[in-house]
Amino acid sequence: MTQWAQTQGKRIVLDFGAIWLLLLVIVFFSMTSSSFLSYSNISDILRSISIVTLLAIGVTFSLIIDGLDLSVGSTASISTVSAAYCLIVLRQELWVTLLVAIVIGLIIGLANGLFITKGKLPDLLVTLAMMYVVNGLQLTLTKGSSIYEGMTINNEVTTGHFIPSFLYLGQGSLFNIPVAVIIMAVCILISHLFLEKTTWGRVFFFIGGNKTAAHLSAMPVNKYRVYAYVISGLFAALGGILLASRVGTGQVSAGTPLLMDSITAAYIGIAMFGKGKPNIVGTFLGACLMGILLNGFTMLNVPYFAQDIIKGTLLIGAIFLAKKNN
């Protein structure tokens, strides 16, 4: 009986280790700072993780089919720059701006998927190469300069501006809830229902679990793998749009640092609930854990350069727990 209890206790720790860590972190920071659990701070945390969560949802889809999209950060960057270019240089309206940025993300995702399936190339190498290609493209097209109001291009001052409806996406609130958080919540809900409650979602999981069995079952494996990367590109583009609307500029390579954050969140998600598989709710909670840690350490005046140490440690721990749960 004692051995059984020890076995069960060890399993609970491993299966739900990420959950215990999240609860422990919340308790710790709520005790060290009286303002940590205030509505304004919680709202700031959720707003800050909204972009990372969108990218992490895309990474989760690639992980489900046993791949990994390393190009989400660069895709978010070029979507940020393209949205800003449409507004500042081309003086386009909201829907055209959104459409251009989203289409760019879809094209990058489609290219990833086709190179992987038709070219029979490794996911990691293709998306790593795409990361550099996309990053190089945005730097070439913008000549390394960010897109901002009043900038000079070819000796002419641009007259476009970030329209209020666009800035509202990243900076506005609805019923005192940040719009970015609402967009994130909608994307989480739709993605979760799609993967857990539809036949298509189950096919994604089945393909990721056993490609050979999926092939033998006459499932369109390559088609679904392409779909996964297209979806990843879509969410990366949405994250890029929110990033541009939040900061009010088209910052070159602004999304690149988000790659590590999104991958870490997705792997923490695998360690959540003892499922041992990628899942959207776990990914969101993983992003929350990262956001809470960085917010709490900022309150404690921990140097900003220590954040990479925290992220790296979280990623290693998440991979360890994910492997233990498989």
Chain segment 240-287, per-residue pLDDT in tens: 999 999 988 888 888 888 898 899 899 888 877 656 788 899 899 989
Which CATH number among 3.90.320, 1.10.10, 1.10.3470, 2.60.40 corresponds to the domain 2-325? 1.10.3470
Among 2-6, 86-90, 182-186, 258-262, the least confident range = 2-6
Return the structure tokens found at 257: 């640092």
Return the structure tokens found at 212: 């050979």
Confidence of residue 15 (pLDDT cuts 50, 70, 90): low
| Cα distances (angstroms) measured from residue 119 to each of 37, 65, 112, 225, 284 | 50, 17, 10, 13, 33
| Sequential DSSP letters for 197-210 | HSHHHHHHHHHHH-
Average pLDDT over residues 120-148: 89
Q: Domain map of the chain by residue range? A: 2-325
pLDDT reading at 4 higher than 60: no
pLDDT at residue 321, as a whole number: 66
Average pLDDT over residues 158-162: 82
Return the structure tokens found at 313: 């440690």
Return the structure tokens found at 175: 């019923």
pLDDT at residue 1, as a whole number: 47
What's the rounded Cα separation, in Å, for the pair 153 and 151?
A: 7
What's the rounded Cα separation, in Å, for the pair 176 and 158?
A: 34
Pairing of strands 156-157, 173-174: unpaired
Share of the chain above pLDDT 70, in %: 92
| Cα distances (angstroms) measured from residue 302 to each of 27, 38, 151, 202, 315 | 18, 20, 36, 43, 19
Confidence of residue 18 (pLDDT cuts 50, 70, 90): low
Amino acid at 116: I
Average pLDDT over residues 202-210: 87
pLDDT at residue 52, as a whole number: 94
pLDDT reading at 140 higher than 60: yes
Average pLDDT over residues 116-127: 92
Amino acid at 192: H
Confidence of residue 7 (pLDDT cuts 50, 70, 90): low
Instruction: Report residue 140 CA to chain centroid gap.
Output: 25
**SS3 state of residue 92:** coil
What is the rounded average pLDDT for all residues in the chain? 86
| Sequential DSSP letters for 179-228 | HHHHHHHHHHHHHHHHHHHSHHHHHHHHHHH-HHHHHHTT--HHHHHHHH
Say how many Å lie between the first and final Cα of the chain, rounded: 26
Average pLDDT over residues 175-185: 93
pLDDT at residue 6, as a whole number: 53
pLDDT at residue 208, as a whole number: 84
Share of the chain above pLDDT 90, in %: 44
**SS3 state of residue 279:** coil
Average pLDDT over residues 80-84: 93
pLDDT reading at 317 higher than 80: no
pLDDT at residue 181, as a whole number: 94
Confidence of residue 302 (pLDDT cuts 50, 70, 90): confident
Average pLDDT over residues 281-300: 87
The structure tokens 């003086």 sit at 91
Residue of 263, 266, 238, 243 whose CA lies nearest to 254: 243
pLDDT at residue 19, as a whole number: 75
Q: Is the separation of the CB atoms in 59 and 75 below 8 Å?
A: no
pLDDT at residue 165, as a whole number: 92
Q: Is the separation of the CB atoms in 276 and 292 below 8 Å?
A: no
